[in-house]
Structure 1
Amino acid sequence: MDLDKPPVRQAPQQQPEGCLVVAIRLPVRIVALVLVLPVRMAWDALVVACRFLNDALLRPLGRALLWLGRVLVVLPLVGLWRYVVVPVGTALARLGKVLVVAPLLWCHRHLLIPVGHALSWLYAHVLRPAAISLGAALAWLARYLVVVPARRLYDWFLAPVGRAAAWCVLGVGRLLVLLVTGIGHVLYWVARVLVVLPALALWRWILAPVGRVLALVGREVLDALRHAWRIAGHISRAVGRFLGTLLRWIFVEPVSWVYRTVLTPVGHVVRDVVLRPAAVAARAVGCTVRQSLAAARASVRQARADMRRLLLGDPRPRPPVARREPSGRGTRTLDNSTTALTKD
């Protein structure tokens, strides 16, 4: 079972850092912190302002613009498409079918198909046999007037001349290859001695050490910037908390204390001493006024009825209306029924 266990990975051992790295790191980190701290604080302040602006202005404004766009653009376009474009398109499609498609179908069925059949019969029985005969005659003439003379010219003249020319070109090519190879070797050694070896020495003894130093400096500068940005974030957060606490001590807590100790008791006193008695009195006055108005309306209604009775007399009694419901004595029950199922 021990053989199945994965091997334990050892942490890579860090190489001891030289004095040059330590001498570069501390000043670079101090300078980076001094330069990065204002930028980080300005960045955090900008982030807080942007979040407040987004929550307080941009998001409600976006919702309002979205609703306005839906009301002013989307709904009119939907109505235009549904009640104008679709009916007009349907009418145009039906009109096109009646005025264009139907005549074209009739023309294709009664004109083009018979003409096509006639042309097909003409091609199959007249043009095709004539074309076959003409093609055979032209093929025979081309064979004996072009192909046979060209074949003899190739066999007796062009082939020997081409072989001789190819042998000459092959010899010249081999000679050129030998010359180019020799010149290439000479140029290779000249370039190696005059360019490659000096460039290699320059890279190995000058550029590589300088590049290592610059890479070390750049790496330390980048690490210092990251470290300074992180430290500046902690400092900016501490400053923000301090300012928030100071604002709470200076403004929020005094206002809260004034609200709790002054405005709330005053409000309770005003509510208990002024507002509630005023509300009770207002409700009593309202109830009295409503009762007075109801009594006045009843008096006016009675006076109007008495005046109508004096001028026009008592109203005639309404004649009884014949209802479809049966009367009380003639209703059907289980004891008194005239259906066929309950007759004796």
Structure 2
Amino acid sequence: MPEASESPEGCLAVPIRIPVRIVVLVLVVPVRMLWDALVVTGRFLNDTLFRPLGRALLWLGRAVFVLPFVGLWRYVAVPLGQALAWLGKVLVVVPLVGLHRYVLTPVGRAIAWAGRGAGAGLGWVYAHLLTPVGHAVTWVLRGIGAVLAAIGSGVYAAVAWLGRYLVVLPAVLVYTWVLTPVGHALLWCGKGLMWLVSTAVNGLGVALYWIARILFVLPALALWRWFLAPVGRVLAVVGREVLDALGHAWRIAGHVSLAVGRFLGTLLRWIFVEPVRWVYRSVLTPVGHVVRDHVLRPAAEAARSAGRATRQALATARETVRQARADVRRMLFGEPRRPAPVARREPSGREARTLGGSTTALTKD
């Protein structure tokens, strides 16, 4: 039972589906087989060539670029920076701290003490000298300001009276009896002109609307409804079927490619791998065992025996040469002088000291 949410198929879907799937399957199978071959080749190259090459390049880059910079930073830059920091501390920081602590601080305190003394003197001068003088000057300036304010008030009143009767009243009369009627007339004329213009524009807009609707909109609507929409539906059905056919063909081509790959792998195994394995197991391994047991091991044993005999012969020759050299030395220079015996402080033999016993040299009766 199909689900209720699935859309019903049209009458074009069934006759289009089978031919399209056949054509697409014929076209997709070679592409899928080529794709699978490229994937296998790429994986083989990645495992055998690119990955080891990448690791080698990574190691080479680390050895050529990273390790020198790390060594330069660790053994050159860091010690140099520490040395410069120590020099900066010794040559700059410590002198500045000493200058601030032992020079600038005492000088600043002395200047502050002198400033406090000068401030006390200036305060006395301000309280007993400048304040009375300022009060006197303020009283004089207040009197002068009062006189000037009286004069300014009179002048302002006169100017205001003249401006009212010479400027304000004539301007009010002109605005009331001249400008207002003229403005009303101009406003009425402008309203009429705007009505005429708006009526003409509305009529022109309606005419252009109907002309555009008849010449463009209705033909475009008819073209969309009776031609483009049916053609679009047909193309949508064809496109959907082509996409479905591509999906089915790709999956079927995958199964075909897998079967072909397994067949080629089995064929390669029976033609090449199994014969090589049989030859290695049935021919090369027994031959190798025979060669190892009857040729290599006896040859190795003979080589070891020859080596031992050679080492013994060389040791005998060295001993003979050493004795001959000693005999020649005795014939030329005589017997070497033996050192004179020296009395030993420690008793020898049975008279030697023993720890924890009564037979030492000191306690022996």
Shared topology, TM-score over 0.5?
yes
The change in CA–CA distance for 1:19 and 1:190 in structure 2 (over 3 A counts) is closer
Which one of the candidate residues 333, 336, 339 is aligned to 1:313? Answer: 336
Q: Does structure 1 residue 59 correspond to structure 2 residue 59?
A: no
Cα offsets for 1:222-280 (capped at 9, x unmatched): 11111111111111111111111111111111111111111111111111111122222
Does residue 206 of structure 1 match 2:227? yes
Map 1:22-33 → 2, pairs under 5 A: 22-33=14-25
Aligned residue for 1:22, secondary structure, equals helix
Question: For 1:256-315, what per-residue CA distance to the aligned partner results, in whole angstroms no more than 9, with x for missing partners?
Answer: 111111111111111111112222222222233333334444454555566667746156
Match for 1:227 among 248, 259, 276? 248
- Equivalent pair of 2:12/2:237 in contact (CA under 8 Å): no
Matched-pair identity in %: 63
Cα distance between partner residues in 1 of 2:24 and 2:58: 46
Query: Using the alignment, how far apart are the partners of 2:44 and 2:324 within structure 1?
Result: 70
Q: Is the 8 A contact 2:21 2:249 kept in 1?
A: yes
The one-letter code matched in structure 2 to 1:200 is L
TM-score (norm 2): 0.59
Amino acid at match of 2:336: G
**Taking structure 1 as reference, are residues 32 and 301 closer, same or farther at Cα in structure 2, changes over 3 Å only?**
same
Aligned to 1:215, which of 236, 241, 255?
236
SS in 2 for 1:17: coil
Separation in structure 1 between the aligned mates of residue 224 and residue 267 of structure 2, nearest angstrom: 60
Structure 1 distance, partners of 2:246, 2:341, is 104
Unaligned runs of 5+ in 1: 1-9, 115-148, 323-327, 333-344
Bigger radius of gyration, 1 or 2? 2
Give me the whole-angstrom Cα distance separating, in 1, the residues matched to 2:284 and 2:198. 108
1:252 to 1:172, Cα distance in 2 relative to 1, 3 A: farther
C-alpha separation between the residues in 1 aligned to 2:309 and 2:37? Answer: 63
Aligned counterparts of 1:41 and 1:178: Cα–Cα separation in 2: 75
Moved more, 65-74 or 190-199: 190-199
Q: TM-score normalised to the size of structure 1?
A: 0.62
The residue matched to 1:38 in structure 2 has which SS? helix
1:317/1:26 Cα in 2 relative to 1: closer, same or farther (>3 Å)?
A: farther
Structure 2 residue 29 is matched with structure 1 residue 37: yes
Aligned to 1:12: 4
- Deviation at 1:25? 0.8
Q: Counterparts of 1:172 and 1:43 in 2: how far apart (Å)?
A: 81
1:81 maps to 2:102 = no
Unaligned runs of 5+ in 2: 112-159, 346-351, 357-365
Q: Which residue of 2 aligns with 1:131?
A: none
Structure-1 residue corresponding to 2:271 = 250
Instruction: Note the C-alpha offset of 1:78.
Output: 2.3
3-state secondary structure, aligned to 2:4: coil
CA distance in 1, matches of 2:341, 2:211: 137
Cα deviation code 1:191-249 (max 9, x no counterpart)? 44443333333222221111110000011111111111111111111111111111111
Counterpart check, 1:70 vs 2:91: no
